[in-house]
Structure 1
Amino acid sequence: MLRGKMKILGVRIIDHRLWAMGRHLLSSIFYCLLSICIFCFISSSAQAKVNCLKCHPQVRNQLSRGNVHKPLRKRNCTICHSTHASDQPHLLVKPTKELCLSCHKKAFKVKYPHMPVMEGDCDKCHAPHASPYTALLKKQEREICFDCHQKEKIFLGKKLHNPVKKCLSCHKAHGSNYPGLLNKPLKGLCFTCHQKTKIIVQHKGSALKGNFCLSCHNAHSSKKSHLLRTYAHSPYAKGQCQSCHLMQGKKVGKVKSDNRLLCLTCHPQVENADHFIYSHIQLTPGSNVCLDCHTPHLSDIKPSLKGSPKQICFSCHRDTKNRLLSNSPGFKYKHPEAKKGNCLVCHQGHGSNKLFLLKEGGINTCTSCHKRHARFTHPIGEKAIDPRCKTKMDCVTCHHPMGAKDIYNIIFDHREELCIQCHKIST
């Protein structure tokens, strides 16, 4: 029997006893790996197809519904769920948005995403396993929209626009490259159904553009015939088209002026907004900025607004819109008036000498409602300087009315995190 040192496959073996021990160790490792492979095989997705439905009869019962999600139909539960543990609800392998996006890639690549899509709340509208409705919807198409969109704001009267029976006639469900989630540009959408030549005749020969239709007509419903809006701009109501337009006999021509001077002829008080430090009406010099918010003909909201203040403000302030509508924990708490979209409770519409177009400045605007905090609060005002930016502290130093992570719209956790932003703790 050989004794001494031997070299086998690059490993030095001192004697036969070490060789026997090594062979025994390799054998143990082999059988261990074999056991792991067998375990993985019996725990594979093929086995999970049977095991999942065995313990989840409520899911098995959904297989008889009209539309079944493809992974469930193929019993591939592990595409979406982990078999052992997960940081996500329902043992999902990823957050809902990421999980859906891994297969449904096109739904998110749009300029204007639907808010539930942007937030990853796919299961707000869709059932994850099966549904009797198309596209795995939880309800019929028309009904599911009203889970979020209030019926009383859609159905203003008994006169209904026929496409209202099917929202997706005009809108896209996940998102669109056009405002309002429209499936076409507004200027051409109306003429998809309404013949342009007939419309021109009905409007006394005016060469109308599709994007002006909503200036007079409600897209969904109305109390009046032809879906006309409720409140009329005074010259329009009196038939005095010549107040704003050049007339060619009885035919209505172009407007007399393309800038805001046209409106200031009758509304001189608005010109005072030019003298404010912060002014909305100076935003687009050379064009009629009034028409960004107001309609010159008919409106459902006084004073001749194109939509609710919330809709109008959101059309420009998209960061505020995303914050207020977000379900993110960082924006969990919102000021009640901001959440309702009552922007004009705190802000001036045309202009203000106060930052953010506030009516009375940061502190006075807040304390007009929160009177207790006008008498008792953390030091604020000229004598309280924020050490971080060297400016005077006010309510929004600690609170964010449009959305914050902590109770009372506090930007940071109020128990410690908020205080140490300024009051540094030395160790």
Structure 2
Amino acid sequence: MQSLSCRERCPMNWKQLLVCVMVLSLSLSVYGGTTSCFKCHKRAAFDKAVVHKPVREGGCINCHSPHVSRFDGLLNYRTPEICYQCHIREKVKFSKIVVFHSPVKKGKCLTCHDPHSSSYKNLLKNGVPSQCFHCHKDMSKKYSHIHVPFKKGRCLVCHDAHGSSDYRLLKGKDPVICLKCHRDSPSIRKVHSGYNMKDMKCLYCHNPHGSSRKGLLRNVLHKPFAKGECGKCHNGKIKEPAVCFQCHAEVKSAFYTNHNHLLSSGANPCVGCHSPHASDDEKLLVGKEVALCRKCHGYVYQTKENALYVHPNWDQCTDCHNPHGSNSLAMLYESGNKLCARCHETQGKFTHPVGEKVKDPRNGQPITCVTCHDPMGTAFKYNLKRSGDKDLCVQCHRGY
């Protein structure tokens, strides 16, 4: 008997066949998500108060492969790419962000969100502030005086959970964000010695979460401010930094070094880093050290973000750098080799020769630790600037 080809056996043309395949695929999506998947996966995890749209519509295979995948959870793509298939507006928004919330920067959407269903708005795994406190544990401490939004757990009144132009992820600049609730009124000006609130930096003196002091004043007070001796600094005669040097003579000597933090343009005065009134830091810093340095030295942090190997305690900048000034390059406390030897005691004893007598053939400068190592982070072990197998060595040893 003569055998028939597929085309001869099937009465449909290719257009009709394509329609059938599309209908079959759609039915498989609905049927598979609502019936087949739940034969193994318990439905309770998918039936909470807020359900992700693909789950609600039975579209499990929109995100997951039913058979095999290169990604965890049998996902069709890794996160965040799979999320951006639908959340296009968020992708556009994130492309304009300057400072990212860490999970967003790392593409870890599922750190905060449940991809299937949740008991909380926006598919959060926990409600706010519990979700925030999961990482920001230091924020869960108790205060005797608490800012109302923080007391009510409304973190998102002030912060953007994804990113911002501000390193604290604030939704607006200080004092604009504060003045949305705290109107610039005569009563507020009276408390602040008549100053125009629009010219103030509220967060220099006030803790926006809570404090042991009334008025949410930060816990460490500058001595003249604590004593009410405003005239010691606000005398209208001496300007910063000279007014600061009247008391802080030791800092003045640090600024009169070859490499210091004072800029001739006057763009980096003392109050760029310190609050002249109140702070939660013993040195009256206006923020945490790692965040404060990042405001200007963002490129250093970007290097670290892209590195596979970073120096231990990389975020403790003042372990190696004098924040005011030094006679050593990069405001290091000592010249490179001596500084490294504080911790690396065997340095120079059985390593590649280093020191003033050993010259780099490329530039004639002395070979130091940082000739080969980058303490800010690199792609290679031991913070080497290039691969230690050969590539680093042949930069100088051409005949190798």
Q: TM-score with structure 2 length normalisation? A: 0.83
Counting helix residues as a fraction of each chain, which structure ranks higher? 1
CA distance 1:418–1:150, shift in 2 (3 Å): farther
Residue 174 of structure 1 and its aligned partner are, at CA, apart by: 0.8
Q: Which residue of 1 aligns with 2:120?
A: 133
Which consecutive unaligned segments of at least 5 residues does structure 2 have? none
Residue 350 of structure 1 and its aligned partner are, at CA, apart by: 0.6
Distance 1:245 1:87 in 2: 65
Aligned residue type for 2:272: D
Distance 2:157 2:69 in 1: 40
Distance 2:397 2:114 in 1: 49
Asked if residue 307 in structure 1 is aligned to residue 283 in structure 2, the reply is: no
Question: Which of 194, 212, 231 in structure 2 is aligned with 1:242?
Answer: 231
Residue 421 of structure 1 and its aligned partner are, at CA, apart by: 6.0
CA distance 1:63–1:316, shift in 2 (3 Å): same
Aligned residue type for 2:328: K
Q: Which residue of 2 aligns with 1:182?
A: 170
Q: Which residue of 2 aligns with 1:170?
A: 158
Distance 1:387 1:89 in 2: 50
Asked if residue 343 in structure 1 is aligned to residue 317 in structure 2, the reply is: yes
Question: Deviation string for 1:33-86 (max 9, x for gaps)?
Answer: 99x969965873541443356246436432211111112222223333345544
CA distance 1:62–1:302, shift in 2 (3 Å): same
Residue 166 of structure 1 and its aligned partner are, at CA, apart by: 1.5
Q: Which residue of 2 aligns with 1:144?
A: 131
Residue 345 of structure 1 and its aligned partner are, at CA, apart by: 0.8
Q: Which residue of 2 aligns with 1:71?
A: 54
CA distance 1:136–1:231, shift in 2 (3 Å): same
Aligned residue type for 1:135: N
Distance 1:336 1:72 in 2: 43
Aligned residue type for 2:76: V
Contact 2:290 2:316 in 1 (8 A): yes
Residue 210 of structure 1 and its aligned partner are, at CA, apart by: 6.3
Residue 178 of structure 1 and its aligned partner are, at CA, apart by: 3.6
Q: Where does 1:247-266 land on structure 2 (aligned, <5 Å)?
A: 256-266=237-247
Residue 305 of structure 1 and its aligned partner are, at CA, apart by: 1.5
Distance 2:68 2:217 in 1: 57
SS in 2 for 1:316: coil
Distance 1:188 1:58 in 2: 49
Distance 2:392 2:37 in 1: 47
Aligned residue type for 2:290: K
Q: Which residue of 1 aligns with 2:374?
A: 400
Q: Which residue of 1 aligns with 2:196?
A: 207
Question: Deviation string for 1:158-180 (max 9, x for gaps)?
Answer: 32212112211111111123442
Distance 2:71 2:357 in 1: 48
SS in 2 for 1:96: coil
Question: Deviation string for 1:366-399 (max 9, x for gaps)?
Answer: 1111102342223333455556666544333443
Q: Which residue of 2 aligns with 1:101?
A: 84
Q: Which residue of 1 aligns with 2:344?
A: 370
Contact 2:133 2:140 in 1 (8 A): no
Residues paired across the two proteins, number: 390
Contact 2:49 2:118 in 1 (8 A): yes
Q: Where does 1:45-84 land on structure 2 (aligned, <5 Å)?
A: 46-51=27-32, 54-55=36-37, 57-58=40-41, 60-84=43-67
Contact 2:328 2:335 in 1 (8 A): yes
SS in 1 for 2:97: coil
Distance 1:244 1:159 in 2: 29
Q: Higher Cα Rg: structure 1 or 2? A: 1
Identity %: 36
Q: Please say which of residues 221-230 and 201-210 is displaced more in the overlay.
A: 201-210
